[in-house]
């Protein structure tokens, strides 16, 4: 428990991926430079540090991605370049080495996703907590910061907690994450703190979030996962310039749910959909379930079924291309009964099947919101932060790192790498500042 009566060199708000990494890198950098270990207190709302990291990757923690720096940067769209110095300071190889040296070796899986060999997020969190204890960092759990003020005459920050404690520090790092998955403690407090200290906020919106869909038949397919689907957004008019600058279409696996659509292909464009839904009441998504077969090839295939495989059931032939349940649904939507054979396929039915396979339309009217979003898009404006240090350009004693920033990647380990890299850079920069202001 940190002593509130002493003045800390550094207070870190939030013991998530970014906050814990910052506490560690600040202590390690000071040690490496022969400085005294700074008095660091990390204040965490939850009963223990790293609770959100524990749920990452279904409890296995997809802690980074194997792509090179340019690839990682590209995942963050228009704002990605901001991350260059942070990634140069701690890239995915550096991160993996850091964990390996602390007994947490990692391995690569499909799509370049990196997991601990233990397949347990707890090994990632335990290694970080252990290192914080060694340094030592004072960890105050169940200690939610409620307000933050800066006193320019004393050059001190004052943090008041929900229980009325007041912490004082020379440097402050805001690393309280975004406002998604609110049950994990991330309720957007960082935006209020940053605003109170003079920063502007880009309106937060849910990202990596399932989408609600109007087509009633979708609920009949709930639980069905379809591999390798390309999803394209169709706005009702020319696509406006998007704040995110994220690419589309998105190709990956998708999933039907009782309310609509989920799975990586959908989740990864949900940020753009959320932005468009602020401008339009509905957005159409077009799904290509057979992206490796073009329209001409599909036409030839249907004609071949019709002539050479006429006695076979249409639904059985279709199920060679897509999952059974989806094949049956597409037959139903194209007025093809379960016993119809390929010889009886009409031109209109072939056309409708082709439309369903290559461009099924899903009408999206909402997202599942912050409660179910894995990350928050938007956040503290990047042009008010120095990317080389993570230092505020408004108050040089203030630092910000992690999801609280206006940076969002798709699923695949990018968001944790963002948190680790920016947290690490912030910690190192604070150690330098402490030295210069000793």
Ligand X SMILES: Cc1cc2nc3c(=O)[nH]c(=O)nc-3n(C[C@H](O)[C@H](O)[C@H](O)COP(=O)(O)OP(=O)(O)OC[C@H]3O[C@@H](n4cnc5c(N)ncnc54)[C@H](O)[C@@H]3O)c2cc1C
Binding site for ligand X (CB under 6 A): 13-19, 43-46, 51-53, 55-57, 61-62, 144-145, 175-177, 181, 185-186, 189, 374-375, 402-403, 413-416, 419
Contact 412, 233 (CB under 8 A): no
Q: Which pairs count as long-range contacts for 124-127, CB under 8 Å and 24+ apart, including other chains?
A: 124/50, 124/53, 124/61, 124/63, 124/99, 125/20, 125/49, 125/50, 125/53, 125/54, 127/99, 127/102, 127/103
Using the CB atoms, write b or e for 315-341: b if 16+ within 10 Å.
Answer: bebbbebbbebbbbbbbeebebeeebb
Q: Smallest distance from the beta carbon of 430 to ligand X, in angstroms?
A: 16
- Choose between 210 and 260: whose C-beta lies nearer to ligand X: 210
Q: Smallest distance from the beta carbon of 66 to ligand X, in angstroms?
A: 13
> What is the C-alpha to C-alpha distance for residues 393 and 396, in angstroms, rounded to an integer?
6
- Choose between 75 and 360: whose C-beta lies nearer to ligand X: 75
- Choose between 367 and 415: whose C-beta lies nearer to ligand X: 415
- Choose between 47 and 237: whose C-beta lies nearer to ligand X: 47
Q: Smallest distance from the beta carbon of 358 to ligand X, in angstroms?
A: 32
Q: Smallest distance from the beta carbon of 14 to ligand X, in angstroms?
A: 3
The H or E element containing residue 170 is: strand 166-174
- Choose between 116 and 402: whose C-beta lies nearer to ligand X: 402
Q: Smallest distance from the beta carbon of 206 to ligand X, in angstroms?
A: 11
User: Across-strand partners of 41?
Assistant: 11, 138
Q: How far is CA 147 from CA 98, 136, 159, in A?
A: 34, 25, 6
- Choose between 302 and 399: whose C-beta lies nearer to ligand X: 399
> What is the C-alpha to C-alpha distance for residues 146 and 371, in angstroms, rounded to an integer?
21
The radius of gyration of the chain's CA atoms, rounded to the nearest angstrom, is 25
Q: Smallest distance from the beta carbon of 17 to ligand X, in angstroms?
A: 4
Q: Smallest distance from the beta carbon of 292 to ligand X, in angstroms?
A: 28
Q: Smallest distance from the beta carbon of 308 to ligand X, in angstroms?
A: 47
- Beta-carbon-side half-sphere exposure of residue 308 (alpha carbons within 13 Å): 7
- Choose between 51 and 364: whose C-beta lies nearer to ligand X: 51
Nearest residue relative to ligand X (C-beta): 16
The H or E element containing residue 85 is: helix 84-89
State the burial class of residue 165 (Cβ atoms within 10 Å of its Cβ: 0-12, 13-18, 19+). middle
Count helices and strands in the chain by DSSP H and E runs: 14, 20
- Choose between 244 and 360: whose C-beta lies nearer to ligand X: 244
């Amino acid at each position: 428990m940190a002593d509130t009566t002493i003045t800390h060199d550094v207070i870190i708000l939030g013991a998530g991926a970014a906050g814990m990494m910052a506490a560690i890198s600040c202590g390690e950098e000071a040690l490496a430079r022969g400085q005294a270990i700074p008095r660091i207190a990390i204040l965490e709302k939850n009963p223990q540090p790293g609770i959100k990291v524990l749920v990452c990757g279904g409890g296995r923690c997809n802690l980074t991605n194997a792509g090179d720096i340019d690839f990682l940067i590209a995942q963050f769209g228009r704002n990605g370049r901001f991350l260059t110095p942070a990634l140069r300071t701690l890239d995915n190889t550096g991160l993996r080495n850091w964990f390996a040296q602390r007994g947490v070796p990692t391995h690569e899986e499909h799509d370049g996703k990196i997991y601990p060999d233990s397949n347990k997020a707890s090994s990632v969190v335990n290694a970080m907590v252990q290192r914080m204890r060694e340094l030592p960092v004072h960890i105050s759990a169940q200690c939610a910061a409620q307000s933050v003020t800066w006193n320019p005459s004393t050059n001190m920050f004052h943090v008041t907690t929900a229980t009325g404690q007041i912490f004082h520090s020379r440097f402050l790092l805001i690393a309280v994450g975004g406002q998604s998955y609110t049950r994990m403690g991330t309720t957007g407090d960082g935006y209020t703190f940053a605003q109170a200290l003079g920063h502007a906020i880009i309106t937060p919106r849910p990202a990596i979030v399932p989408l609600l869909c109007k087509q009633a038949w979708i609920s009949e397919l709930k639980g069905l996962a379809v591999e390798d689907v390309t999803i394209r957004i169709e706005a009702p008019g020319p696509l406006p310039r998007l704040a995110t600058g994220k690419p589309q279409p998105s190709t990956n696996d998708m999933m039907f749910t009782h309310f609509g659509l989920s799975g990586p292909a959908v989740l990864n464009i949900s940020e753009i959909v959320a932005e468009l839904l602020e401008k339009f009441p509905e957005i159409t998504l077009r799904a290509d379930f057979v992206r490796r077969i073009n329209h001409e090839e599909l036409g030839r295939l249907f004609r071949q079924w019709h002539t050479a495989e006429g006695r076979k059931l249409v639904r059985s032939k279709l199920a060679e291309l897509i999952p059974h349940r989806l094949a049956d649904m597409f037959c139903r939507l194209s007025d093809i009964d379960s016993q119809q054979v390929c010889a009886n396929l009409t031109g209109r039915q072939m056309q409708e099947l082709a439309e369903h396979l290559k461009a099924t339309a899903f009408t999206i009217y909402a997202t599942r919101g912050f409660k179910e979003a894995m990350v928050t898009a938007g956040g503290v404006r990047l042009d008010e932060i120095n990317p080389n240090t993570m230092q505020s350009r408004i108050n040089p004693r203030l630092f910000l790192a992690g999801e609280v920033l206006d940076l969002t990647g798709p699923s695949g380990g990018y968001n944790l790498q963002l948190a680790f890299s920016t947290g690490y850079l912030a910690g190192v920069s604070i150690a330098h500042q402490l030295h210069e202001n000793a």
